[in-house]
Chains A and B, each alone.
Chain A
Amino acid sequence: MSSAFFRVVWRELRAAFGSPVAYIVTVIFLTVTGWFFFTPFFLNGRADLREFFRLLPMTLGLVVPAVTMRVFAEEFSTGSYEVLTTLPMTRFDVLLGKFTGSLLFILLMLVPTLAYPIIVATLGDLDPGPVVGGYLGTILLAALYCSVGLFASALTKNQIVAFIIGLALCAFLVLIDKVLFFIPPSLTGVLQYLGADYHFGNVAKGVIDSRDVVYFLSATFVGLYATNLVVERRI
């Protein structure tokens, strides 16, 4: 990793924390997840985080595109991408730096949610397996959503359009295995495998299967690869 890569990461983090969008999104995310998690928590009477992780693919699917919509769309609309690529750094420094910066921001945003397992552990007997699995799955899921969000951002100069495309793609990944009964049985296996929610569910149970990890890593790679192709076509 070159020093240019770390500079891009640093610049992305600064830009994210420098914009009000990031704070608004963080507040909304924490409020919504907290509300949905703790409202049924005492009714269920179980000391686990299953409810939190069950909703996470949806909430993150809403939040990540809002964070990544700016990343390429702003560079293209202001023309600063030209300055960026004529500085001595490679296209991969830029792409991976932007990806890592966005992912780090999302993970920092998730840090306050660590309060949930701590609170739950004081209330009852918390099984650490699903919690560790759940957070590992969250990192993988956030990485996938970031690559999808960057792809959406690279497609357009308009941040709103980038957000909507990113949202649609994330929603597709979450909802695809919810609509399987509309689909011919011969295709269900394939479509279920494509769904991020399905794989995330497996990991969040605490079962870390290589198939799920391979799914997340390869899908993230496909997202970044597609982003690279789009960026290359734009200039």
Chain B
Amino acid sequence: MIRINNLTKDYGATRALDGVSFSVNRGEILGLLGPNGAGKTTTMRIVTGYLTPTAGSVEVQDMDVADNPLEVKRLIGYLPEFAPLYADMVVHDYLQYVAAVRRIEPGRRGGRIRAMTELCGLGDVIHRPFRELSRGYKQRVGLAHAMLSDPDILILDEPTSGLDPNQIVEIRSIIKEAGREKTVIFSTHILSEVETTCDRIVIINRGRVAADGTADVVKARALSGTAVRLALLDAPLDDVQRHLMAVHGVNSVVRVLDAPLPVAGALLVEVSCSGQNLRELYAAIKARDWVVVGLNSEGHSLEDTFRELTGAAGDGAAAGADGKAGEESA
């Protein structure tokens, strides 16, 4: 159980976090989302005790991180971004070293290391120096390092970044498996990953929590409206727009040109309408003698939600994150 209260962190004059609060329950997998520079890594670093917050506090199992750093560090397995482990050490020796620092009894160390080797698929690289490993193996050694002492809490900073699709699936299944009894916080750019892996989502933007809840709740909260696609015959665009815009609750009526038409010569429009006014919209369509050849409502994806919550200002940072997210999930 982790409780984050009103966390604020300043780096010089820049405010990286501005009153971030959320909590994670035992056995929950929490996905931390946000564009680059939003404050995900800073939040994780404060929870793990690497950074001290300018204001606010973090409680891990009712212990304040600032007051009991050692006890909290014993409870947390942490994988920083890019898994910066000792490059000169052989993987097995490194895991031995971590086992000793984490005070695993000498008799149990071998067993734990074998278990992690198997879980993370390190059999082929266990006797090789860390620096010689590929990106994917480095990430897996990092996961083994974080889970070695079987900690109650796992904090993983972008555990799947830079991996190929097969490796992403493997790591995701390890996280999901671990999340059955552990509390997991992980950050990512890949939105589909959050939907498939996480119990809950927190979206951080510009140092503030922009949304907090399950994937469905977050989506519903972000987008109040529904998009309805209409394909019509014998309907001039200006006529359609005039009539539909008059309906209460309709925000926009836009012609769609880049989608395939169900019938040649049809007019395809997208009507953005609030969820409560769909009946009025239908009545308005029925009242005209247009031939309706297609009608479907578009569900919103998490990508849309993310864009709406974080890209509203249209700044470079958010656009960059969007680009990366789209490219990785593609």
Contact = CB atoms under 8 A, between A and B. Distances in A.
Interface of B: 45, 48-51, 69-70, 73-74, 76, 78, 80, 82, 84-89, 93, 97-98, 100-103, 145
11 contacts: A3-B101, A11-B97, A14-B93, A18-B88, A80-B84, A82-B45, A86-B80, A87-B101, A87-B102, A88-B101, A89-B70
Given A3-B101, A88-B102, 15 more contacts: A11-B97, A19-B88, A79-B80, A83-B78, A83-B145, A86-B73, A86-B78, A87-B73, A87-B98, A87-B101, A88-B70, A88-B74, A88-B101, A90-B70, A235-B50
A26 to B, nearest CB: 18
Nearest to A87: B101
A87 to B, nearest CB: 5
Contacts of A13: none
Contacts of B76: 86
Contact of A3 (B50, B86, B103): B103
Interface residues of A, number: 21
Given A3-B103, A82-B80, A86-B73, A15 B97 contact: no
A69 B139 CA distance: 28
A175 interface: no
Contacts of B50: 82, 85-86, 235
A18 B101 CA distance: 20
Contacts of A15: 86, 88
A47 B18 CA distance: 72
A78 B84 contact: yes
B84 A82 contact: yes
B45 A7 contact: no
Nearest to B71: A88
Contact of B101 (A78, A82, A89): A89
A88 B45 CA distance: 14
A132 interface: no
A4 interface: yes
A156 B76 CA distance: 29
Given A83-B85, A87-B73, A88-B74, A3 B100 contact: yes
Contact of A79 (B73, B82, B93, B102): B82
Contacts of B93: 14
B84 A79 contact: yes
